[in-house]
Each structure stands twice: as C-alpha cells, then as structure tokens.
A and B are shown apart, each in its own frame.
Chain A
C-alpha cells in the first residue's frame, strides 16, 4: 500500500526526472520514483542506519545535513527537489528552502498542518499541545522544530518571492478540496522561485 503523499508526489513528478530527496529516510519514496517513474534519484539523510537501509534497497544516498550540503550543486541541477515531512524539522527553514529552490527547477514540499481543526480543538478546549494521529508526538519528544499551518506556509511563500505552482491537501489519507487550513492535516506544495529561472 503506497502512502497517499507518496502517490501524489509520484503523480506530480514527470517520468525520467532527476530528483533529489532531502531527508529521504529509508528511501521508500526514491524506490517508488525509480520503479514507477524511472527517475534518476538521489537522497540526503542524516541518520546512518537509514542510509544503510537505503543502500540495502539500491538507492544512492549520501549521509549529511539537508541544510548545509547543497552548496556543491550548481543552479537548477535537479528537476525536482523533495522536502517531504522534513522541512518542519529544520532549524534554518529559509536557508534550506533557498538552497532547494536554487538547485531544483521545482521543489516539492510536504508539511503537516498544525492548525487542523483537531489540533485547534485540543488547544482551545483542552489547553494542551495537540497530539493527533498525524502529529503523534508530545511536546518533549517531537522531532519537529517548526510549527506551522498551511496558511502560514502560503504566506511565507508569497513573502519570500516563491511561486506556488500547485497544491494538494490531505486529511486522513484522502484529498481535501476546500477549507484546507481547517480540514487538511497536511499539504503538498509544488514551488519554484521565478528569479531563479531568469
């Protein structure tokens, strides 16, 4: 069973594209893109055990930091740079996105929505930091460093000269087509920076 976010990303990406997956984990998405879309893919992952699992599955991955390791790539080297479920775990979001938008013709960002109605309900009525199926962590053990809503992310993009080319919103494994900031538990954005393409 392919997770819906992977299916959507695979659907967005054109066949044969050159892909860089930042924070690629065990390499599931790269394997999918390689098999389904004949992509030339590579990844960056900080956890050595995950890197070994990537190698076990025949994916080329270099252990490293997604924030500081893109400097070696020339501009627009990749057709797609993917930051799926990894951007909120980065301290310097602006630097990470700037670099991704520099080396990628398109950047696909998948982020959780910390302001879905379920979370809002917990904050408002229970007075607690939200813990949901989609956001299972407690405040003291969450790997997330940044907490954002889908609206926050859209606002951020418009303030930073980033064009949102496409969006897909999800709730509970299904697509959502309206009131995304309230209903969706996550969003997938296809971005590019126009000034990078002049």
Chain B
C-alpha cells in the first residue's frame, strides 16, 4: 500500500496578489497538491489531474491510516491509465474549495478570522490560473496532459483556451463549455437550501453550528442529478429499507430515501457549506464563449491534441454539450477524438465506469507521449 501525503505551496503573496476574473484581488493563496510518480529529466511527462466539484488533491494511493484510496485511484497508479511508472501525475485542490487550498473557510490574514462571504467569488478560469502557478513552481513548461471530469473537465477545457502552449493534450470528460439554465437551476436549489438553514448565519457560522441540514439537502439534490433513472431503479427500485409493509407515515421507508440521507449526512462532515456556494457559482459562471463569442472562435488557438468523453445516461452534462466542443474544435483543425461511452451510471459514470474509459485514456496518453512529447 503506497502512502502519499498532501503538500502545500503558498503563492500570490503581497504585493503580488492574484487578480481574479471579477477584478477582486486575493492573496496569499495556499495550494494543496499531491504528486505521484517521477518527473523525468526533460520534464515532459507531467500530467495535471483536475478534480470535480467536491473532490480534492488526494486523487490516488492512500493517506496514512486511511482505508479508502484517493478519488480516482482506479485511473492513477502503476500500470493504470495515468501510469505512475511512466508519468508524473499532479493533482491540486481547486481555489475556493475547503480541502486544503484557500477558500471561504480559510483564515483571512487581514482579520485573523475565516473569510466567510468576504471571500471573493472565483471562476473556473481563476482556478486554472492558480493551477498554472503550481505547474510553474514545479518547473514544468509544458504538460503532457490536463485531464478531468465534470468540473475538472471544465477546467481542462479552460486550460486549452487560456494556456494553449502549455500542454500537449487535454482529456475532457463529462463536461461542457458553458453551464445551461438547467445546470444553473439545480445549483441554485442547492444554494438556497444552504442559505435557508438558520445555522448558515450569512456565511458566518465558523466556530458555531454548521448549517448541516441545508448542506445535506443540497447534496441530496446534487446526488439525484449525478445518477440516472436507470441506476436508481437498479440500486433501489421501490424497495423498503427495514420493513415489508408501508407504514403510512413520513419515516424514511424507501431505500432511496435512506441512501440520500446517508449521502447528505456524510457529506456535511467533509465539506464546507460556503465552499458549496462558491464552487457551484464558479461552475454557473463558466462560459468559454463569454456570452457572445462563437465557440469555434474560442477554440481557434487550441494547439493540444484533445480527447473528449461523454456518457450515454449523463443527463446533467448531456453528450450534445461535449459534441458542441468536438465540432468547434474540428472546425479549427484541432486534432480531436470523441467517444460517447455506454453507461447507466449517469453523470457519476466518469468515476465508476472504468473499463472502456481506462482503455481509451491509457492508449490515448501513450499516443500523445510518443508523438508529441518525446
């Protein structure tokens, strides 16, 4: 069992604060990150893994004492698609999160207290800017790849536009180039649930009672959007949890109810309610076209080789959104591959549907490494 540790880097120290998309300035910024494998002497084998909404820097292997490995362990490790015998894999926690990188729960050095809602609103592009600082710090001029699913896929897509010369390839999984009204709507339900919790206190709940109930409800809604009707039917159906007959009351009788409650409860123990607000907002603001540009124009400077993957049952980030990116890239003569993998797991598929995804990713990376980086 390989044990790994999270490392920390502080950037954007005064007076070199980070200027965010909103115009606000933020600094210093601590970046939590992990690395796996060895950087080769040419520094040409580095891959940046960018995580989804509630993920963190701990993408693979084990932390000391933990029973569970990192969140994408099946994809990262010796002989796995992101093969740590060949590649140097980096994963950092995103700006605005609560898993080690600076976010609303961090202490504001100016006040000595947690930022709370005084933390500036961040965007996907801001996250990418911070990731670029980490890559610079590690002395890497050009990444072999930037890869991620969901919000990670949005970051990978943003990387191709913001730093086209800093990468040989990008793997964009179950993502989009901008959030739609439906995606924003689900996030808004989550945010309203958090803010309606009397314990939320305008975001100033640190050191007091955390807004557990609201955050749990937000997570429950989220979970529904990450699954598909088929996967829920398969996992729960109409099964009752503890008894054989209906109780004609409002106790949690259906298995699916108990499951959602469990997911909600376990989530509040590891995730900050304000980070939930900030990160959902970052995704909602995400729009590579900035409202009015043509997507083909947005991708006109992409130099990387691109792999885009979507899943048939993903109704939260449906395939047509991936296909729109594929078309816009093709129009620019970008070398782009696209596959819509068959899965019943809904949006969660990128975390659980490993078989074909592994095959696609590992050989794709091998090709890019062979043709572009060595």
A and B found bound together? yes
Binding site for B on A (CB under 8 A): 42, 48-49, 51-52, 54-58, 60-64, 69, 71-74, 77
Once bound together, how far apart are the Cα atoms of A71 and B363, in whole Å? 29
B357 to chain A, nearest CB (A): 9
Once bound together, how far apart are the Cα atoms of A64 and B340, in whole Å? 9
Query: Cβ of B335 and Cβ of A42 under 8 Å apart?
Result: yes
Once bound together, how far apart are the Cα atoms of A42 and B330, in whole Å? 10
**Inter-chain contacts of A74 with B (CB < 8 A):** 331
B337 is an interface residue with CB less than 8 A from chain A: yes
Nearest A residue to B330 by beta-carbon distance? A72
B66 is an interface residue with CB less than 8 A from chain A: no
Once bound together, how far apart are the Cα atoms of A136 and B364, in whole Å? 34
What number of residue pairs across chains A and B have CB atoms under 8 A from each other?
64
Nearest A residue to B356 by beta-carbon distance? A52
Query: Cβ of B370 and Cβ of A58 under 8 Å apart?
Result: yes
Query: Cβ of A62 and Cβ of B330 under 8 Å apart?
Result: yes
B342 is an interface residue with CB less than 8 A from chain A: yes
B323 is an interface residue with CB less than 8 A from chain A: yes
8 additional A-B residue pairs with CB within 8 Å, beyond A60-B337, A63-B338: A51-B338, A55-B337, A55-B339, A58-B366, A61-B339, A63-B340, A69-B327, A73-B331
B359 is an interface residue with CB less than 8 A from chain A: yes
A-B contact pairs, 5 of them (CB 8 A): A55-B337, A56-B360, A56-B363, A64-B323, A74-B331
List the 10 closest A-B pairs by CB distance, nearest first: A58-B367, A62-B338, A56-B363, A72-B331, A51-B339, A60-B337, A55-B360, A72-B327, A72-B330, A63-B339
Q: How many positions in chain B have a CB within 8 Å of any CB in the partner chain?
A: 27
B39 is an interface residue with CB less than 8 A from chain A: no
A129 to chain B, nearest CB (A): 32
Query: Cβ of A55 and Cβ of B340 under 8 Å apart?
Result: no
Nearest A residue to B361 by beta-carbon distance? A55
Nearest B residue to A58 by beta-carbon distance? B367
Query: Cβ of B364 and Cβ of A55 under 8 Å apart?
Result: yes
**Inter-chain contacts of A60 with B (CB < 8 A):** 305, 335-337
Contact of B342 among A42, A48, A64 (CB under 8 A): A48
Residues B303-346 near A (CB distance < 8 A): 305, 307, 323, 326-328, 330-331, 333, 335-342
